[in-house]
Structure 1
Amino acid sequence: MGLEEAVEALADRWPLFAVGAATLVGASLVRHLYYLKVLYSIPVLGEELGGKEKRRAAYLMGARKLYLDGYKQFKDTVYRITTTKDSHTTIVVSPKFLTELQKLPDDVVSFQAAVNETIEAKHTKLGTESAHDVARSVKSDLTPALVRLNPTIAEEVNEAMDLELPIGADWTEININKALLRIVGMVSGRIFIGPELCREEEYLDASINYTIDVMTAVREINTLRWFRDLRAPYLPSVKKLKGRVKQALNFLQPVVQKRMAMARDDVKTDRPDDMLQWFMEGKLKKGAAKAEDVDYFARVQLGLSFAAIHTTTLTTTNAFYSLAATPEIVPELRAEIREVLAESGGLFTSAALQKMKKLDSFLRETSRLYPPSHTSFQRKALKNITLSNGQVIPAGVLIEVAAVGVNHDPAIHADDATFDPLRFYRPRSEAEAESGAAAGAANQFVSVNQAHLTFGYGRHACPGRFFAANEIKMIMANALLRYDVRNVDGVEGRIPNLEFGNINVPDGSKSLLFRKVPL
């Protein structure tokens, strides 16, 4: 067919094309108008502050207050909140809807899609494609193995603290956050990749700084309002992140190659007992891994470091800051730890860790007042959701729950502004005395419920929280037995956290004073 004939044929059929195009455009327009109608039926928090830019500035400098106000004002409903990100709309949902939301399938409300947006996965290239497999391995391999691995974790904690906290009889000023980054990096690395590598400087550098580089890149990407897809790859932080990944992969790939050969071997003796080995063997058994998948397994290690090291460090730093500000609780915690370890022969067994109920309460109370984020249960709505009160959440938005409101709800936590280290010890002990050990579970540090959202909620609650809790308890127990700790001279009360947007982290630039416990 020549050009002229083709044009004539198109002209003959144009009415059909026009009708089809109009139908498609009309359907798209109707969907968009419906989306806008549903979206704008949801109230906006803080409209009295002014336009979007003023609300965004208020969020950046005071999100905590906004979420607390929203929790009180919209306790039984939902509202929109203006965040620092233009790329999506965020809807805050009352905790009362958590039970029904967590029952929805992943193709309706997606945890992973929310994570991808939060970390700008499209541009940071963080290996979220392995997230499901890693979470499954943590649940099925790591958590059940803790009974067996706790003595190993305890040994690594002891040795890492010897290396990073050389403290004598005199008061010594220590930046505990920096020390903990290395301690947690070593201890986590011992379980993630094995004893021969967890203390290697190259591994620690990659594990610790990868997360810092990712979050720096995310912050820079978030500043881009226009042509983000075109401009993001050229940001200095994104370029630096690519270099960091390349450096880490060069280091990890030979390790993975050696392990893959070991994983394929039928000989079961002398195999490493760590997550890298379990993960590879699990994939190989299912025929899902190939010899050339070295890069994938190396990226899994980076993903584990991203998920575990900094969050555990921040939580433990918060615990040390709380400890220094409440010296009156130290004798009680120390006595409990000594008593429990005397019963277990000095070993940090799973049973011993469970019996450290006062320390557990101290950690949960610290996480209540100083959580890493003011929000929890971040999800992306992939389809329209109709809540039990009739409200509709449109597809495409991010949803979250104001955990800070729960943490400061006086109906849930009496005298909510006060740090009470034994707040959760008392009801746990009472419940266990009346109905047995299981009855007190709701008040444990690792518990996940509508009154404690630090580790999330539902089937996507943090799968690594049991390992993290054991690690944190061992670090704090060792510190309490070894050292006295207090604020540096001139500092009164607890060192304040740094808040920006919904993030709430300890000030890593501050120091504490340590000395060996006098004999």
Structure 2
Amino acid sequence: MALTQLAHSASALLPLVLPSIAAILAFAIFQRYFAPNPLSNLPIVGEEYHGYEKKRQAYLTKAKDLYLEGYTKFKHGLFRIVTPNANSVIVVSPRFLDELKKLPDDVVSFDAANDDSMHTKYTLIPTHEPILPHTIKTSLTPSLPRLNPQLSEEVQIAFSQEIAPLMSSSPSDWAPININSKLLRIVAKVSGRVFIGPELCHDERYLEAAVGYTVSVMEAQRAVERMNPWVRPIAAWRLKEVRKLAQMERDATAFLRPVVEARREKQRKGEEKDNDMLQWLMDSADQGQGKQHGKWGEDTTTTRKLARLQLAISFAAIHTTTLVTTHAVYSLAADPKLQATLREEIQSVLQEHKGVFNTSALQAMKKTDSFLKETMRFHPLGQTSFNRKVLRTFALSNGQVIPKGSTIEVPNYAVSRDPEAYPNPDVFDPLRFYNLRNEAREKGEAEQAASGQFVSVNKEFLTFGYGRHACPGRFFAANEIKMILANLVMTYEMGLVEGETERYRDWDIAAGTIPDPTKDVMFRKL
């Protein structure tokens, strides 16, 4: 009886509901196909690839060329580009950066753009974690003067474990080493010294979690990226790469649970606390900053949450640091004279600082610093920077309206090859920034000299981002990379494998550029 009455009621309501549904559909169709498009005046690069799918495929294989084409044609303005995602992407000239960086996060969102690029709806990669940049800025970076000697010690330990066993017993023999895979473990150990402590950073369970998660995140991101956006809501969840991430998070939580419990027991007993990233995060939670609905949002006191934070910071540190260092090693292997130049500087600086990699010693390695900055200019990890999702419609100073739901970005790679920004931009000049800093100092231009440092950001060097969301961990990463390279250069000669005469070519994958991870580098002990 009740079902019959319900059916009659539904039938009676249907004539009232159907017009509403029709109206909603009509409005959606009008908005999609007939409403004025504020971006219709902007040119689209890649128009020769007819149809959305062909444009999307072109981006996956030729993004670098598309961005260069757009920047060359519309350098001082804006253009559109079709990416593997469904939303409109607007590429903006660097001249708008100063006004864009002033916009609040509820207008243009760094986190929301990361969600789109990393496909967090499916990968569940933690991106909205304000406690991480806060802890890096307030605890990690100020501690670097104290931490640098510890990091240097850890680099030497990691080398003895990862590189030395692969070397020939004869000092005159060369040994081939897949340096990318070894650097993943070296960087994980050195970063782990700060993230989780000197004992646990060598635990294979930690290394498997940190390195494995770093590799798996990018595999999952690329797997989702390759899918048509209309198919993702149905099929992305079932990708083996995506399912693997969830299992790795569970494994990391299981590993970390007894560690967290042991530290909390030490606190209850009033014993001295550990002094690493895990403890700093726990302290923030215990001070009430991480409680539910508090400053940091989701409850950071749970072991699962702490595991997610550890995985997030491990990915950010290990992924980028390994790629940059591998790029640098490939360039060194192709240039024995450059190895000799840096070796001479590093030995001289360390002699002046009694062999200690302290802050002043690292800052004094100006040629090494220049080489690293040029490496990131010439081999940037991404084609774009300053990626932001537009949450509220706004207008640029030239009157161009940027609608809600679109994404804005600046063509980092194209800017790095602009002859107005860099003379002879297609030439890899390892001392480019060393010479620029010297010239600026001679002219009394202190600000210009400072802009030539590896960690500096400006509108011509966007690899670390720009504005308040510029990479907060770049100071830690710069010190770590310098120590790793310094130890390599002082301990080994490096070369390309037999038959190779030029630096190994990079892999361009959609908007990313990575060093070829399959290549070996030849090493011989000095």
Query: Please, what TM-score do these two structures have when normalized by structure 1?
Result: 0.92
CA RMSD of aligned residues (A): 2.7
What's 1:313 paired with? Answer: 322
Partner SS for 2:399? coil
Aligned-residue offset at 1:33 = 6.5
* Aligned-partner residue type, residue 223 of structure 2: E
The amino acid of 1:435's aligned partner reads: G
Report whether the alignment pairs 1:301 with 2:305: no
Q: Is the Cα contact below 8 Å between 2:253 and 2:303 reproduced in 1?
A: no
Count, aligned residues: 510
The equivalent of 1:178 in structure 2 is: 181
Match status 1:443 vs 2:452:
yes
Distance 1:514 1:212 in 2: 25
CA distance in 2, matches of 1:232, 1:59: 20
Q: C-alpha distance in 2, partners of 1:321/1:78?
A: 35
Matches within 5 A, 1:85-484: 85-129=84-128, 131-166=129-164, 167=167, 169=171, 170-225=173-228, 226-262=230-266, 264-265=267-268, 267=270, 270-286=272-288, 288-289=290-291, 293-435=302-444, 439-484=448-493
Does the 8 A contact of 2:300 with 2:306 survive in 1?
Answer: no
Cα distance, 1:190–1:77 mapped onto 2, change above 3 Å: same
- Give me the whole-angstrom Cα distance separating, in 1, the residues matched to 2:473 and 2:78: 30
Check conservation: 2:282, 2:301, Cα contact below 8 A: no
Residues 55, 260 of structure 1: alpha-carbon distance in 2 compared, 3 angstrom cutoff: same
Shift of 1:431: 2.2
> C-alpha offsets along residues 44-96 of structure 1, whole Å, 9 cap, x if unaligned?
1121333333323322222111111111111111111122x143222111111
Query: 1:372 & 1:496 partners in 2: Cα distance?
Result: 14
Provide structure 1 residue ranges, at least 5 long, that are not aligned to the other structure.
Answer: none
**Matched-pair contact (CA < 8 Å) for 1:340–1:352:** yes
SS at match of 1:91: strand
CA deviations on 1:161-209 (whole Å, 9 max, x unpaired) are 1111113512111111111111001001111011111011111111111
Structure 2 counterpart of 1:81: 81
Sort the Cα spacing of 1:358 and 1:292 in 2 relative to 1 into closer, same or farther, 3 A.
closer
Secondary structure in 2 aligned to 1:303? helix
Please tell me whether the aligned partners of residues 109 and 381 of structure 1 are also in contact (alpha carbons under 8 angstroms). Answer: yes
CA shift at 1:153, angstroms?
Answer: 0.6
Select which of 490, 499, 507 maps to 2:499.
490
Task: Tell me: CA distance 1:26–1:58, structure 2 relative to 1, closer, same or farther (3 Å).
Answer: closer
Per the alignment, residue 52 of structure 2 pairs with: 52
The AA in structure 2 aligned to 1:152 is: Q
Q: Take 2:31 and 2:236, find their aligned partners in 1: how far apart are those partners?
A: 30
Quote the Cα distance in structure 1 between the aligned partners of 2:516 and 2:161: 23
Residue 409 of structure 2 aligns to a residue whose secondary structure is strand
Q: Is the counterpart of residue 508 in structure 1 residue 517 in structure 2?
A: yes
Greater mean deviation of Cα atoms: 55-64 or 363-372: 55-64
Task: Tell me the secondary structure at the aligned position of residue 202 of structure 2.
Answer: coil
Shift of 1:288: 2.9
Q: Shift of residue 380 of structure 1?
A: 0.5
Map residues 58-77 of structure 1 onto 2, 5 A cutoff: 58-77=58-77
1:245-302: CA deviation from partner (whole Å, max 9, x where unpaired): 222221122212222344x5483x5321111101110221125347961110111111
Alpha-carbon distance between aligned partners in 2 of 1:55 and 1:33, rounded to the nearest angstrom: 20
Name the CA shift for 1:361/1:447 in 2 (closer, same or farther; >3 Å).
same
For residues 342 and 191 of structure 1, what CA distance do their matches in structure 2 show? 26
Aligned to 1:41: 41
For 2:185, what is the secondary structure of its paired residue? helix
